[in-house]
Structure 1
Amino acid sequence: MGKWTRRGFIGAGLLGGGALVVGVAIRPGQRAPELAPFVADGDETLVNAFVKIDANNHITAIVAHSEMGQGAQTALTQMLADEMDADWDNVSFMEAPAEDGYANGPMARGFILPDPQIPKVLIPTLDGALQKVSEMIHLQITGGSTSIRATGVFGMRVAGAAAREMLMTAAAETWQVPLAELTTENSHILHAASNKRAPYAEFAEQAASYTPPNDPTLKTPDQFKIMGTSRPRRDIPAKVDGTAQFGMDASVEGMKYATIMAAPVFGATLESVDDSAARAMPGVVDVVTLDDAVAVVADGYWQAKQALAKVKPTWSRTDNDLQSTQGIFEQFDRDLRAARDSGESNDDLSIGDADAVIAGAGNVIERSYRVPYLAHSCMEPMNALAHVTDQGCEIWTGSQNPLGFRYSVADALEIDAEQVTFHNFQMGGGFGRRATPDYAIQAAKISRASGHPVKLIWSREEDVRHDHYRPAFTSTFRAVLADNGKPEAWDNLYVDKHEPAEAPHIPYAVPHQKVHYIDSKTHVPFGPWRSVDHSQHGFFTESFIDELAYEAGQDPYQYRRSLLSDQPRLLKVLDETAAKADWDTPLGPNRGRGISLQQSFGSIVGEVVEVTVDGSDVSVDRVVVVVDAGYAVSPDGMVAQMESGVVYGLSAALHGEINIEQGQVVEGNFDTYSALRMNEMPVIETHIINSLEAWGGAGEPGTPGIAPALTNAIFAATGKRIRELPLSRFELDSLA
């Protein structure tokens, strides 16, 4: 979604048509009949697009988000069930199919216009337009922490409330009683005056004939019974007993296995290949060449992998063959200096006149920070099973954007999307990587070339060396402090702006701010990585504000506090973080605390890290997290996501680094691209603030603040400032 500005998205949506949708209908009338063939069987009635009820009064929520360990499908079902007054013990969910009708319009609504105070008269046109454009761009993505704050708020809650109103209307007509006299509880409708009580199922078929209301009455938090409670996740039992199906588990009769080797230098192509030795090996079925890769198809994965090692490809030469990490950062530095010298850059944010203040200052504080490329390193490597025939393509894999994958595969095969059947599976990690369809496209092309159903499995080395990486960044800062130590001017020039647009912006009251950037492109492919640009800019901005606090001779917590007097919600999170972390309690020798504050994806997260430094060894002892996401639909889920975000970000800060030499990635497996080990795991304490402000996300906001809190803690313990990640590249006891 990075290419979609809010203005562009709205414009495209209005051109797409003014049809009706609130996650329930895309035109006046009921959408359920056209969607029922994809999701309803036997005695099930699709009441609206996201709700079906069977004859036994079992309710199924249809969720337009993928499962990759985050638990969103359960939380979204809680939102729908609560608004329906459903019996939670008799509610389940299913994932929405990769069909146009299940493009995620509510997610688009949350992304473009999250303000719920839109005049009701405009809601049908607005939501209809956004549904149309969501279908046009095949939007069914799970990412950006949009599940709860977008799909949940504008989709699942509305669909649940609409279904309840439709069922009550059907009951009122059947019983010939006033609608106002009816109440609901535990998936039943009650009429106290006549002592009637009946399950929702009795009225499902009649309700399904109505036009769903586009602005049903939603509950207030004091009325919640299921939201705000920690219900056991419905996906966990199958993961415990081994019945959960991941992409790697997909299987069809007669399938073969494949593994692949892509050009080691990004942008290179396959010129020729000597595959004679591979073809002579037992179990080898075929050797398939693609534009930039070669794959071996065999009876088993190990046979394919062994044969691939015998293949001798010749790759084209490129201008990037001598590129290196050092050269890339030198390019960044050179381009940044040129922009400073020429004054030519791209505006990001401008408040006041930072240039004038800096030009007239006697003391300008200047700092530069950098972060490396990072891989996603999902525990389940990329894989997909595809079967291409004359009739079309069937594909089985785990994807963060099933509908988008379906269209991408169709485009790659040059067939109609209607000829592609897509089966989505759970994912052993996503973090943004499984929003890119390269591996599914490869599987489809290999199947077509070999004539077999083929399960493509990337080796771990392929997974690390042909990722779509979090970009390497360099960010430079200049600041001027007033007599009271507060920043008077803030100038931030960095390389390459991606998304979200607000990632480099700070919440602190600085009267003169200039945030700007330059484009400094490299040949390394990039893609969304957990918390996207917030993960880099969080480290940059929260490191620099910490340095300014020390330059001013002030406590870093109190310094931040003094700059947030007009931001009560942020201030509350900051104060609670310091209090829960015992900020003012002294630590022993070689120990330190660091603090950070981040606002991202609609949520505010404060973090404090405690470390012990022994020579060059850093022990992360404790992490305190305070999160205000407006409202925690599932408190246990919120805690788990904060812990997950901390672990992912801490792993990157301590160890994560993708290096380029001779144009290609050096690292290949966990021996060279390390992850946080169990013995390195700190105690994590998470505290939730339910401010009841606009609801935010949980999957990503825990990540951006961990790296700066960690390096700020190391400075507090040692007086040594870390401005480049990961920590593993430094010998702390040798730093000045």
Structure 2
Amino acid sequence: MNKWSRRAFIGAGVAGGAALVVGVAIRPGNPVDSLAKDAAVEGEQLINAWVKIGEDNVVTAITPHTEMGQGALSTLAQMLADEMDADWDKVEVMSAPANGDYVSSEMARLFVAPDLDVGAWLEPTVDGVFKNLSYMMDLYLTGGSFSIRSTGQRGMRVAGAAAREMLVAAAADAWDVPAGEITTEKSRLYHKASGKSADYADFAVAAADQSLPAKPTLKTVDEFKLMGTSAQRLDIPSKVNGTAQYGIDATVPGQKMKYAAVLSSPVPGAVADSMDDAEARSMRGVETVLDMGSFIAVVADSYWHAQQAVNAVSVTYSQTPTDGLDQAGMFATFDKALNDAGANGGDTLFEQGNTGRALEKASTVIEAEYQVPFLAHACMEPMNCTVWIRDGKADFWLGTQAPLRCRTAAADILDIGLDDITIHMQQMGGGFGRRSATDMVEMAARVAKEVGGGPLKLIWSREEDIQKAAYRNATTSRFRGGLDEAGKPVAWDNVFLFHNDPADASFVSYYDTGSQHIRALSDVDLPLPFWAWRSVDHSQHGFFVESFVDEMAQAAGKDPVEFRLSMLGNSPRFATVLKKAAAMADWGSAQPAGHGRGVALVRSFNTIVAMVAEVDMTRGAPRVRKVFCCADPGYAMNPDGFTAQMEGGIIYGLTAALHGEISIRNGAVEQSNFHDYEMVRMDEAPDIVVEIINGNPEDIGGGGEPGTPPIAPAVANAIFNATGVRPRKLPLSGQSFSV
């Protein structure tokens, strides 16, 4: 092994004049080296540089994540600033350049080895392993509620604490005083005995020469000043004054823009057999019409002209095996697969005890089947990408959750080196997993490569986005549960189709259900492409599991809250959250005729959420009046931001519960826009009350995903409470319920 230098644990260097850059350096040979040439001496690599200090004493947090309205970047900066004792009024945040120098190694570590803790002497080696892994995976990703609990906890806080210790050490050397006598506050250093003080910026360069252990001392909860407070989000001012730049806003100053609209094949896998584009070519502003195989593109001098022309193109498509498929046929295929699997078929995901025997001995056996349809992401900002190819290089402007994946995809399409591609990251008008895909970059690159010339902006119409995208998959889940004579659960058997992420989304280990057997079938074909959707598999299994728990409570003749609590004896945090949500909703109090309450409890992305929904069924259709939400994320770094995430997750999940359905007819998606793929609008939105429990600051969870899974089962269970009719399919609107 090469000898570690003073920068080899927590490395520092000068970048951009009198600016201090702090990061974690690993052994020589790491392929990510663009920062090393600017911030490290020969033989060192500097990567994941998190913080810089400018001459104006402004601290900038650099994060390997992107902003899509969730406010995570501000909270990451808040965590760094608190450990650094930085002045929040002089803190800024930015997404790291998508040049390969920055990867989310903390995300990889949390995903692969969440409990790994090694000594300081071994930490650089372990960190290097995960950075190499992250680099190979292009792991610069925003999703899975990982930002705060991975990069924040393991990256931002460490870097902030490291920067503070380096600045203190530099000041101690200059003032010839013990470092322990120096205090820090609001981006300034103080030595009380001598009366000396200075801005962080005054010692930024000198701090670069200070060595540091691999594990700087982090604050305890009682020492937090910013963490745990509702500090002002840094992205709000630009959104209020209109200066925030989204992907669809991208322009290239001084260059004449081209615009492209596209028309993809309605049935996945089909390609254009022939097309009549004569009318389109004759329309105003049209430059060309391209047959790209799986899609048609029109390039024009404005998006309006391009879209009007693409609407005029007549295309016939090749045949596919799913041309005649409809929704009923798809679910019939699912049913056959489950029937063929029987009582033991499929891949066992979790097994405890002998479920078959427990079911045989049970006094009562409950069976149920649940279905959910495909769902679109329906981001408010349409899919778009701007690209400019010139002189063997390419620039891309877009909002993306996965910029390095986009860079790799573009390199493959254009056949140029990664270092010759620049991704200019813009804010996103919604992501929900959809913008972690690379299809927009691939399509824009292909069209731009074909037409040449100046920059080109490709935009999908709303119809393309709803009808020709990738979706949360439809699926079916079957349950069998057993109760003994006293109504205590003794068996839990579950089999479902399509096992995606997270791997444990179907698990109910926090419930004491006696024996458990959970299986998945994954060898069934989906007629539409799948892509991650907010909370991924939890959005389905939350509905499945908590609906079936309610059915078991009914069979046992027990109150739904009390029945759940009876299974939570070994899960005190869960019980606390459930009790709090019930108390918030005044569970057990009388409801007007035709009204009902329903409860659900779901852990997802390490956050425990309980919800109680109040539903008015007096008009025969569900009207959700109130939602009470109690969440335990371990520790809410920004309570206001976390609350907003819960509220947003509830509305997003309520849209799916009440209205969301992508249905198939003749192999193609029937829905096309918001008139037939409805959203929950303001007049439908319920009153939402959120309470937070900080149950374990050492084991924090996410905020972006966990608000979505519990709302559908809470509403479905409330409908049953009001009507006696048990919903087992989504969406709920359009179904027949009688009071």
Same fold (TM over 0.5): yes
Matched, 1:573 2:577: yes
Encode CA deviations 1:260-281: one digit per residue, 9 max, x unaligned.
0011110112233222221111
Letter in 1 for 2:277: D
Aligned to 2:3: none
Aligned to 1:515: 518
Aligned to 1:730: 735
Q: Where do 1:285-684 residues align within 5 Å?
A: 285-340=287-342, 343-361=344-362, 363-452=364-453, 453-506=455-508, 507-519=510-522, 520-684=524-688
Contact 1:47 1:163 in 2 (8 A): no
- Cα distance 1:244–1:673, how it changes in 2: closer, same or farther (>3 A)? same
1-side partners of 2:275 and 2:10: how far apart? 53
1-side partners of 2:47 and 2:143: how far apart? 28
Letter in 1 for 2:347: N
Letter in 2 for 1:378: C
Q: Where do 1:220-235 residues align within 5 Å?
A: 220-235=220-235
Aligned to 1:137: 137
Matched, 1:701 2:700: no
Aligned to 1:25: 24
Encode CA deviations 1:64-104: one digit per residue, 9 max, x unaligned.
11111100011000000000000111111111110211011
- Partner-residue secondary structure (3-state), 2:379: coil
2-side partners of 1:185 and 1:116: how far apart? 33
- Cα distance 1:447–1:722, how it changes in 2: closer, same or farther (>3 A)? same
Aligned to 1:98: 98
Contact 1:649 1:707 in 2 (8 A): yes
- Partner-residue secondary structure (3-state), 1:729: coil
Encode CA deviations 1:160-192: one digit per residue, 9 max, x unaligned.
011111111111222222222211111111112
Shift in Å, 1:314: 2.6
2-side partners of 1:476 and 1:483: how far apart? 23
2-side partners of 1:36 and 1:128: how far apart? 15
Letter in 2 for 1:243: T
Shift in Å, 1:455: 0.5
1-side partners of 2:665 and 2:121: how far apart? 59
Letter in 1 for 2:104: N
Encode CA deviations 1:135-159: one digit per residue, 9 max, x unaligned.
1111111000011111100110011
Could you tell me which runs of 5 or more consecutive residues in structure 1 were left unpaired when the two chains were aligned.
1-18, 41-45
Contact 2:621 2:733 in 1 (8 A): no
Contact 2:608 2:632 in 1 (8 A): yes
Contact 1:30 1:212 in 2 (8 A): no
- Cα distance 1:320–1:87, how it changes in 2: closer, same or farther (>3 A)? same
- Partner-residue secondary structure (3-state), 1:26: strand
Encode CA deviations 1:303-348: one digit per residue, 9 max, x unaligned.
111111121223211111112211111001000000016x321111
Contact 1:30 1:211 in 2 (8 A): no
- Cα distance 1:55–1:618, how it changes in 2: closer, same or farther (>3 A)? same
Encode CA deviations 1:412-460: one digit per residue, 9 max, x unaligned.
2222111211101000000000000101111111111111321001000
2-side partners of 1:346 and 1:210: how far apart? 54
Aligned to 2:17: none
1-side partners of 2:99 and 2:285: how far apart? 37
Contact 2:372 2:730 in 1 (8 A): yes
Shift in Å, 1:214: 2.1
- Partner-residue secondary structure (3-state), 1:557: helix
2-side partners of 1:321 and 1:33: how far apart? 50
Contact 2:594 2:618 in 1 (8 A): yes
Aligned to 1:85: 85
2-side partners of 1:273 and 1:420: how far apart? 34
- Cα distance 1:78–1:569, how it changes in 2: closer, same or farther (>3 A)? same
| TM-score, scaled relative to structure 1 | 0.94
Q: Higher helix share goes to which structure? A: 1
Contact 2:495 2:518 in 1 (8 A): yes
Shift in Å, 1:510: 1.5
Contact 1:267 1:523 in 2 (8 A): no
Encode CA deviations 1:701-723: one digit per residue, 9 max, x unaligned.
01000000000011111111000
Matched, 1:150 2:150: yes
- Partner-residue secondary structure (3-state), 2:80: helix
Match of 2:261 among 259, 283, 307: 259
1-side partners of 2:680 and 2:315: how far apart? 35
Matched positions, count? 710
Aligned to 2:219: 219
Contact 1:110 1:151 in 2 (8 A): no
2-side partners of 1:172 and 1:21: how far apart? 19
- Partner-residue secondary structure (3-state), 1:510: coil
Q: Where do 1:191-210 residues align within 5 Å?
A: 191-210=191-210
- Cα distance 1:277–1:132, how it changes in 2: closer, same or farther (>3 A)? same
Query: Which segment is superposed worse, 555-564 or 166-175?
Result: 166-175
**Cα RMSD for the two superposed structures:** 2.1
Letter in 1 for 2:537: D
- Partner-residue secondary structure (3-state), 2:717: helix
2-side partners of 1:522 and 1:473: how far apart? 9
Letter in 2 for 1:559: F
Shift in Å, 1:56: 1.5
Letter in 2 for 1:513: Q
Encode CA deviations 1:520-574: one digit per residue, 9 max, x unaligned.
2213101110000000000000000001001000000000001001111111101
Could you tell me which runs of 5 or more consecutive residues in structure 2 were left unpaired when the two chains were aligned.
1-7, 12-21, 41-45
Aligned to 2:4: none
Letter in 1 for 2:162: A
2-side partners of 1:517 and 1:632: how far apart? 34
2-side partners of 1:648 and 1:258: how far apart? 30
Q: Where do 1:108-187 residues align within 5 Å?
A: 108-115=108-115, 117-187=117-187
